[in-house]
Amino acid sequence: MSRESPTASVPSGQLKRQLGLWDAIAIFVGIILGSGIFWTPAQVAGAAPGVLAAAGLWLVGGLVAACGAFCYAECGARLPRTGGFYVFYREVHGELVAFIGGWAALLITYPASIAVIALIFSEYLSEALPFLPEEPKVSAAGAILIAGFLNTVGVRRGAMAQRILTGVKVSAIVMLCVAALATSGGSAGMEKSGSLLTVVGDPKIMLAALVGLLWTYDGWSDVTLVAGEIRRPGRNIGRAVILGTSILVIVYVMVQVSVQTLLPPDEAAASSRVFADAVQSGLGDGAGRAVAILIVVSTLGSINGIVLTASRLGYAMARDGTFLPWFGQVHPRWGTPARSLSVLVAASLFYVFSSDFRKLLFVFSFSVWIFYGLTAVALVVLRKRGVGEPVEWRAPGGWIAPIVVLVTATAMTSGLAYQDPGTAAKSIALLAIGLPVYGAWRWIRGS
């Protein structure tokens, strides 16, 4: 199999391969490292008061996230085309499953996720810059429009913004953790934490912690959406996943250790702003604004990364003939999927100004692990079929990655369905809406 040159010509009207390894790492880390790490440590502290046990939970979550990312990375190496999971599903599960997953992600889950993160951005923007007028929805919309503009006027501009934002927030989190620990001496939490291996036996507390923890690692699939624009995707996506996951585990463990070293266990578990409280405990009240600024940068990086990647979904579906052809056009000057991107931004703005989008996002979150499981199955099938062989990069551990994802997906979906059957039913119903939509599309298409 010949390897594609980074400068290989690209047919007119298609996206070019112009993203390198560090771009892929910045996208991977920047999307995942969003807002969750600033309060999920409180749930982990409630489930595992001991520092080592809490760090162990983050390591377990990192292994699950790595396995999920490995599945997507190898699928992307075997099918290195723009569109990520849509491409895998179409190849293995057929057009119907690919269509349902694609349209739901493009019009519901991705824009709703962007809206949630943008509203968190606006909440902390008013704290970071108190002189600005408090208009949360306007600020949230502004963040989305900025990300949309950067990614419309050029892939390199959007990727460079992602590099800067990811680098700044990783560096800032590490420096705040180190400074707070060094200044305080770190004794408050350690004195009252009991055994470092203590884990709470209440399964509900542990389940809540694991759900929050896995949510904080969520977003591992998004980098494959731009596989068609990454140079040597067979090698670089896999390397980005390994390096990116390692960075995330280190940062998350540092934050958790800081929280449980600087705060007493009960205070850490009850806090709704646990990272800010921990940093203030070590550096004083003036550090609160620094944390707010960090959260603003962190959420803006997540918004930019999701806009960059998710906008490729409509483009890929249109190029395949399973969505309106209008979405598949590339801007003649900027070389970006500007039309697909504009619809993603518009849908995100709709959810920002809608009153019920949070409930819709919660309902649809149940289905996320269904699709992760489908990707694990897709990897098994692609291997058996020999698609993409010889492949430049394989998931380490052979069958471990797809097995871990399938077991976790089964446990998460069944656990959530048992805990809230009504929400599970609504999620399945939303997915089922895709059936008549797909039928209508086939009729319009004349097939």
Give the pLDDT score at 304: 92
Q: How far apart are the first and last CA of the chain?
A: 34
* Minimum mean pLDDT range among 103-117, 205-219, 340-354, 374-388: 205-219
Number of residues in the chain = 447
Write out pLDDT tens, residues 127-142.
888 887 878 899 999 9
Residue 194: predicted pLDDT:
44
At 208 the three-state DSSP class reads: helix
Eight-class DSSP state of 19: B
- Domain borders along the chain are 21-445
Give pTM, 2 decimals.
0.85
Of all residues in the chain, what percent carry a pLDDT higher than 90? 33
Chain position carrying tokens 């059957």? 421
CB burial of residue 122 (10 Å; 0-12, 13-18, 19+): buried
Count helices and strands (H / E) in the chain: 20, 0
Q: State which of 3-12, 173-182, 418-427 shows the largest mean pLDDT.
A: 173-182
In this predicted structure, the answer to whether residue 374 has a pLDDT above a threshold of 60 is yes
Instruction: Flag whether pLDDT at 424 surpasses 90.
Output: no
User: What amino acid is encoded at 73 in this protein?
Assistant: A
pLDDT at 185 over 70: no
For 191-206, what is the mean pLDDT?
A: 54
pLDDT at 206 over 80: no
Question: Would the pLDDT of 183 be above 90?
Answer: no
Backbone angles phi, psi at 172, to 5 degrees: -65, -45
- pLDDT for the residue 242: 93
Q: Does the pLDDT of residue 7 top 50, yes or no? A: no
Q: Which CATH number fits domain 21-445: 1.20.1740.10, 3.90.1150.10, 3.30.930.10, 2.170.120.20?
A: 1.20.1740.10
For residues 87 and 172, give the distance between their C-alpha atoms in angstroms, rounded to a whole number.
36
DSSP tag of 5: P
Residue 335 has which token pair?
Answer: 């070389």
* Rounded distance between C-alpha atoms, residue 34 and residue 257, angstroms: 19
